[in-house]
């Protein structure tokens, strides 16, 4: 008898995955700003049973960015144990009803929070989402109307979030007219062609950005260890930068000298910066060799200076000599 053949879902290209990682990072940032517990189960490699929001990237072509909310084990496990034993759907036990009600209310709240932050959000097909991304469903859940988690799919960022940063920053200079990029590039470090970025050196991030920070220093480090900086260059150009274990987001940087600060950070981290409009990596020659093979060909190789980096990210036709 021949061995069974499993039809594996084809994976997306590294460029698409990089775009999803950048989107997932923005989702995490907005949920944290709302005060919610957030983690990245797909990057931790551990069990996906922690309470709170699990933001993860499905690597398949038909995958995307998903937000799963899990209740605390005290409520979740008791409800699922009863459900596994069999229940009367017309009159479920109180703890099962309570668990379902919590997930329904949380799902509605997550939908409202992310939509207000400018994301396009929808409820995914439960069967398709579960089959493509095993980590999206609690392994102890039993198929049926009661689910272990509330799940949403985030397809894209449809508009920038307007308003002041989440920490106290001084008013921008009134004497310098500035323009900002409409996109927000992300910084990632790769090693030996691996598809998953490695966590950034947070102490190095603080060392590079700290001297340029103009926000409240007491609010730089969050309780979960993530960092937020509002930085300003000598010419008055500014950017908000957030960093956690998944990577670094440079939120709509102003044109000008702030790119020199970003370039210094990229170089010292031995990282690459992803152009969100094209999905291409901008990097030095030595970091290009660390990229996944499919990203290397389209990478833009530059001397990592502020002027070169700004040109690479601002002009769609710019391509430095390889």
Residue 217: which pLDDT band, with cuts at 50, 70 and 90? low
In this predicted structure, the answer to whether residue 176 has a pLDDT above a threshold of 90 is no
The pLDDT value recorded for residue 41 is 75
- Nearest Cα residue to 251 out of 269, 267, 233, 239: 239
Q: What percent of the chain has pLDDT over 90?
A: 23
- Nearest Cα residue to 298 out of 15, 20, 59: 15
**Tokens representing 263?**
């370039």
Residue 115: which pLDDT band, with cuts at 50, 70 and 90? confident
- Nearest Cα residue to 29 out of 245, 309, 179, 318: 245
The pLDDT value recorded for residue 290 is 94
The pLDDT value recorded for residue 172 is 36
Q: How far is CA 214 from CA 43, 183, 229, 240, 299, in A?
A: 31, 22, 8, 10, 33
Please write down the HEC assignment for all residues of the chain. CCCCCCCCCCECCHHHHHHHHHHHHHHHHHHHHCCCCEECHHHHCCCCCCCEEEEEECCECCCCEEEEEECCHHHHHHHHHHHHHCCCCCCCCHHHHHHHHHHHHHHHHHHHHHHHCCEEEECCCHHHHHHHCHHHCCCCCCCCCCCCCEEEEEEEECCCCCCCCCCCCCCCCCCCCCCECCCCCEEEECCCCCCCCECCCHHHHHHHHHHHECCCHHHCECCCCCEEEEEECCCCCEEEEEEECCEEEEECCECCCHHHHHHHHHHHHCCEEECCCCCCEEECHHHHCCCCHHHHCCCEECCCCHHHHHHHHHCCCCCCCC
Mean pLDDT, to the nearest integer, of 233-260? Answer: 90
The residue that leads in pLDDT, 147 or 170, is: 147
Q: What percent of the chain has pLDDT over 70?
A: 74
Residue 122: which pLDDT band, with cuts at 50, 70 and 90? confident
In this predicted structure, the answer to whether residue 45 has a pLDDT above a threshold of 70 is no
The pLDDT value recorded for residue 112 is 86
Mean pLDDT, to the nearest integer, of 66-82? Answer: 82
The pLDDT value recorded for residue 4 is 46
Residue 15: which pLDDT band, with cuts at 50, 70 and 90? confident
pTM above threshold 0.75: no
pLDDT tens-place string over residues 256-299: 999 999 999 999 999 999 887 777 899 999 999 999 888 898 89
Number of residues in the chain: 322
Q: Work out the number of other CB atoms within 10 angstroms of the CB of residue 253.
A: 26
The residue that leads in pLDDT, 7 or 207, is: 207
The pLDDT value recorded for residue 232 is 92
Mean pLDDT, to the nearest integer, of 92-116? Answer: 83
pLDDT tens-place string over residues 299-309: 999 999 999 99
The pLDDT value recorded for residue 29 is 80
Mean pLDDT, to the nearest integer, of 184-208? Answer: 91
How far apart, in Å, do the first and last CA atoms of the chain sit?
A: 53
The pLDDT value recorded for residue 295 is 87
Tell me the backbone φ, ψ of residue 298, rounded to 5 degrees: -90, 0
Tell me the backbone φ, ψ of residue 52, rounded to 5 degrees: 110, -160
The pLDDT value recorded for residue 216 is 65
CA 156 distance to own-chain centroid:
12
CA-to-CA distance for 19 and 65, rounded, in angstroms? Answer: 10
CA 27 distance to own-chain centroid:
6
**Tokens representing 224?**
């979960």
Task: Say which residues have a Cβ less than 8 Å from residue 7's Cβ, sequence separation at least 6.
Answer: none
CA-to-CA distance for 103 and 271, rounded, in angstroms? Answer: 39
In this predicted structure, the answer to whether residue 317 has a pLDDT above a threshold of 70 is no
CA-to-CA distance for 262 and 318, rounded, in angstroms? Answer: 19
- Average pLDDT over the chain, rounded to whole? 76
């Amino acid at each position: 008898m021949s061995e069974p053949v499993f039809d594996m879902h084809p994976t997306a290209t590294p460029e698409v995955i990089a775009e999803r990682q950048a989107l997932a990072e923005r989702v995490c940032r907005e949920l944290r700003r709302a005060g919610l517990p957030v983690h990245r189960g797909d990057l931790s490699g551990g069990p996906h049973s922690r309470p709170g929001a699990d933001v993860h990237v499905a690597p398949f072509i038909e995958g995307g960015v998903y937000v799963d909310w899990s209740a605390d084990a005290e409520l979740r496990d008791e409800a699922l144990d009863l459900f596994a034993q069999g229940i009367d759907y017309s009159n479920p036990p109180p703890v099962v009803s309570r668990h379902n009600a919590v997930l329904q209310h949380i799902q509605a709240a997550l939908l409202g929070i992310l939509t207000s932050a400018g994301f396009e959000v929808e409820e995914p097909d439960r069967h398709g989402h579960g089959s493509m991304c095993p980590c999206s469903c609690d392994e102890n859940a039993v198929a049926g109307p009661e689910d272990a988690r509330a799940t949403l799919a985030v397809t894209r960022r449809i508009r920038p979030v307007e308003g002041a940063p989440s920490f106290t920053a001084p008013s921008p200079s009134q004497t310098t007219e500035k323009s900002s990029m409409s996109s927000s590039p992300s910084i990632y470090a790769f090693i030996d062609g691996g598809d998953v970025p490695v966590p950034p050196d947070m102490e190095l991030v603080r060392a590079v950005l700290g001297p340029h920070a103009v926000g409240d220093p007491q609010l730089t480090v969050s309780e979960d260890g993530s960092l937020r900086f509002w930085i300003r260059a000598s010419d008055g150009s500014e950017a908000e930068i957030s960093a956690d274990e998944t990577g670094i987001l440079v939120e709509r940087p102003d044109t000008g000298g702030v790119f020199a600060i970003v370039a210094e950070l990229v170089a010292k981290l031995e990282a690459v910066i992803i152009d969100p409009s094209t999905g291409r990596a901008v990097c030095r020659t030595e970091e290009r060799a660390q990229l996944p093979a499919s990203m290397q060909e389209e990478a833009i190789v530059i001397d990592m200076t502020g002027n070169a980096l700004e040109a690479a990210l601002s002009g769609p036709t710019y391509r430095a000599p390889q």
